[in-house]
């Protein structure tokens, strides 16, 4: 039975707090195993990577076979039906168009004291993209991770994808080709993350690693952070739908299940001001579960972590939304902008009754790599700036240094850093001669 909360109940605050703090994923104790794998790859390079690939993916290959070449990519593309390939291309074009608007502006100006100031944005030189492998891989994630890097101007975009038993979804290779990925290697797990971070004879190291993975991949990303940058450590997917009683209950049920089917630890939450509608949605969810191919996963997610919250007025929902800080937020209400303007914490927002979350997963344009587990309170989805660095610059001439240098010397002296102050005062003294 899905959890039902009513905001007017005396115990609502405590019950809602339990929902917020509920742990939806058991952290596998893999840190030591991952540390050992990373150390081994650092020490033995390709040899270690090949051994782990044989052990975990049941593939015995040589270093020369790690890379997926052009002929294999072309063969995979030929296996994709034309309409699906065109859909991938349309998605890529829309994702590229949206992300091209994220390229940050540089600044270069002279302030009132005559000091030249500014900042310059430059791309990282190489980015690594981790893609989960096998038949259940997601080509949409290839586009979402690779295209922002390409728009940012990253020269080398490297993809790693495990191919257990030699199996790879041809759509993944097609998406990589469309996105302009530079290199593709048939490896996965912590060993792939280590190879990207530290390099081997075959795989040159990258500067940043992005993309989702299992507990081993997540732990590896944590452990190599500092050697390279990472995007985020993503948790199970989640959706919050705010819907009034004028909606179609079947539509909303489908939206809730669109995230529940990802993972048994995913979470789907409905906030509504209509108890009768809430009943209708719950009934519609049960009906939909009878037809879904992933009904077992979606059903367990809904039963274990699904929540329905009934409030008196949806205008008051903003505080609940911000507390949840959902990865995905649907506002299926009459005036979605009015509620949207009150919300601060959400990874991505879907406005109106005709904007299901799934449209953002594939084709709309904004990125679907989003903060989970309430991290939308302080972080954002993947974008072009994640593949860029900001460098500031300062330029003084004699006149501008004389205007601001004295204050800097005083502050340096106050901090007891004499060499700091002297590096400025020797120049100021020269100007007095």
Alpha helices in 290-353 (DSSP H): 295-305, 317-324, 336-340
If you compute the radius of gyration of the chain from its CA atoms, what whole number of angstroms results? 26
Catalytic residue among 288, 327, 330, 357: 327
The alpha carbon torsion through 288, 169, 211, 326 (nearest 10 deg) reads -10
Residue 415 is a catalytic residue: no
Grouping H, G, I as helix, E, B as strand and the rest as coil, residue 2 is coil
Residue 244, Cβ density class (10 Å: 0-12 exposed, 13-18 middle, ≥19 buried): middle
Place of tokens 């979350």: 357
Catalytic residue among 99, 261, 262, 328: 328
DSSP track, 345-384? --SEEEESTT--HHHHHHTSSS------TTGGGT-----G
Distance between CA atoms of residues 6 and 289, nearest Å: 25
Secondary structure, 3-state, 72-84: HHHHHHHHCCHHH
Structure tokens at 404: 């601001």
Distance between CA atoms of residues 183 and 378, nearest Å: 33
Strands 328-332 and 238-243: parallel
Phi then psi for residue 269, to 5 deg, are -125, 135
Phi then psi for residue 224, to 5 deg, are -90, -5
Nearest Cα residue to 298 out of 313, 286, 281, 280: 286
Distance between CA atoms of residues 244 and 248, nearest Å: 10
Residue 262 is a catalytic residue: no
Structure tokens at 142: 């290839």
Phi then psi for residue 373, to 5 deg, are 50, 45
Contact 106, 119 (CB under 8 A): yes
User: Catalytic residue positions?
Assistant: 327-328
């Amino acid at each position: 039975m899905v959890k039902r909360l009513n905001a007017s109940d005396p115990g609502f605050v405590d019950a809602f707090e339990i929902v917020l703090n509920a742990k939806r994923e058991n952290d596998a104790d893999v840190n030591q195993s991952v540390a050992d794998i990373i150390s081994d790859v650092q020490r033995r390079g390709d040899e270690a990577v090949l051994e782990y690939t044989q052990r975990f993916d049941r593939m015995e290959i040589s270093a020369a076979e790690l890379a997926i070449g052009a002929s294999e990519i072309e063969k995979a593309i030929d296996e994709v039906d034309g309409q699906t390939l065109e859909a991938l291309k349309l998605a890529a074009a829309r994702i590229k168009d949206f992300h091209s608007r994220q390229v940050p502006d540089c600044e270069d100006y002279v302030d009132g004291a005559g000091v030249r100031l500014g900042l310059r944005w430059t791309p990282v030189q190489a980015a690594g993209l981790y893609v989960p492998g096998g038949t259940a891989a997601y080509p949409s994630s290839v586009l979402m991770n690779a295209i922002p890097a390409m728009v940012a101007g990253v020269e080398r975009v490297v993809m790693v994808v495990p191919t257990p038993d030699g199996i790879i979804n041809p759509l993944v290779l097609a998406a990589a080709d469309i996105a302009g990925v530079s290199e593709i290697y048939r490896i996965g797990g912590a060993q792939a993350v280590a190879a990207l971070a530290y390099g081997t004879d075959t795989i040159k190291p990258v500067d940043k690693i992005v993309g989702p993975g299992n507990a081993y991949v997540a732990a590896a990303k944590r452990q190599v952070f500092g050697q390279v940058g990472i995007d985020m450590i993503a948790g199970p997917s989640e959706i919050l739908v705010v819907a009034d009683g004028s909606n179609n209950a079947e539509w909303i049920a489908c939206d809730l299940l669109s995230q529940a089917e990802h993972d048994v630890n995913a979470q789907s939450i409905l906030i509504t001001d209509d108890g009768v509608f809430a009943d209708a949605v719950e009934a519609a969810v049960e009906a939909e579960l009878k037809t879904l191919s992933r009904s077992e996963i979606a059903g367990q997610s809904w039963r274990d972590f699904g929540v329905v919250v009934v409030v008196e007025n949806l205008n008051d929902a903003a505080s609940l939304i911000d507390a949840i800080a959902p990865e995905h937020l649907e506002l299926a209400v009459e005036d979605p902008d009015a509620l949207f303007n009150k919300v601060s914490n959400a990874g991505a927002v879907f406005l109106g009754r005709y904007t299901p979350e799934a449209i953002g997963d594939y084709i709309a344009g904004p990125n679907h790599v989003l903060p989970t587990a309430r991290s939308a309170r302080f972080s954002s989805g993947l974008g072009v700036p994640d593949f860029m660095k900001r460098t500031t610059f300062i330029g003084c001439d004699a006149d501008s240094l004389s205007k601001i240098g004295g204050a800097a010397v005083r502050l340096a002296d106050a901090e007891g850093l004499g060499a700091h102050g002297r590096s400025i005062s020797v120049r100021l003294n020269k100007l007095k001669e």
